[in-house]
Each structure stands twice: as C-alpha cells, then as structure tokens.
Amino acid sequence: MTRKPDSFEDIPAMADEIAQLMASRFGGARRGERFDLSTMVRRRGGALPDRLRRKAKRLAEADILARSPRIARQLPLADLGRAHAALLAHLQPLGEIARFQGRAISLTATVVFGLLLLGAAIIWVMVGRGAL
C-alpha cells in the first residue's frame, strides 16, 4: 500500500503494514503473533533512525485516533501518507539476490586483497634474496 490514503479508514491498514515490516526486519514478534504499531514502536522503535521513529510514533497515534470517526476526520492524511511512504522505503527488506550479490562481492574483495598481500610478500622476499 504505497499510495496516499484516501480516507481515515486506510490508516489502520497502513499501521498494520508498518508493524509487520518492523516485526520481520527487527524481530520482536514470534511466528504467528501480530502486534499493533504502537507496541512495535515501543519494543523495536530504537532500531529506527530518530526521524523515522517520530514518523512511526505519529502513525501509531493516528492508528489509535482513527478508531473514533469524529477525531479521525481531523487527521492530516497527506502527512500520514508521507510518513507511511518513508517508513515503507526504509523497512522494505532486501531481496535474496541483493544479499547474495553483497556476499559475493565481499568474498571476491577478500580474495583479491589476500592475493595482493601474497604477491607483495613474494616480491619482498625475492628483493631480499637479490633475485630481482
């Protein structure tokens, strides 16, 4: 749900989506457990950057206020939509391919660095013996 919320009825769905992403990315919920966003912010909100933590708290408060239709109509939907989009962009998990590529690049860099050190050591020994 990456679109702007059309009405206050979209706020609980946005909050649930962010809570699920926080649980999958940072932990804090056992398999099969579902918590609301305010609980996840309280438990794992420290893992978010300060700017995003404030947005998550604002979205959690809006989720609670959205239960009352009269108050929910007064909520700033555009601000909540931007907060949801920012949290979504930060919490989207990396794909399997990106993780594999990261590990492959790291392993390749380690091997190349080791070979460079080995080559330097061989040249140093040969210069020390007068072979070069």
Per-residue pLDDT of 6-20, as tens digits, reads 666 788 889 998 988
Mean pLDDT of 60-87: 88
CA atoms within 13 A on the CB side of 51: 5
Enter the pTM of the model.
0.64
What is the rounded average pLDDT for all residues in the chain?
A: 85
φ, ψ (nearest 5 deg) of residue 117: -65, -40
Percent above pLDDT 90 for the chain: 34
pLDDT of residue 119: 97
Angle at 24 between CA 19 and CA 25, to 5 degrees: 100
End-to-end CA distance of the chain: 66
Count of CB atoms within 10 A of residue 114's CB? 10
pLDDT tens digits for 92-107? 866 667 778 888 999 9
Pick the more confident residue, 19 or 112: 112
Mean pLDDT of 47-70: 90
How far from chain centre, in Å, is Cα 1? Answer: 16
Mean pLDDT of 72-85: 88
Residues 79-83: contacts with CB within 8 Å, 24+ apart? 80/5, 80/11, 80/14, 81/3, 81/4, 81/5, 81/14, 83/55, 83/56, 83/58, 83/59
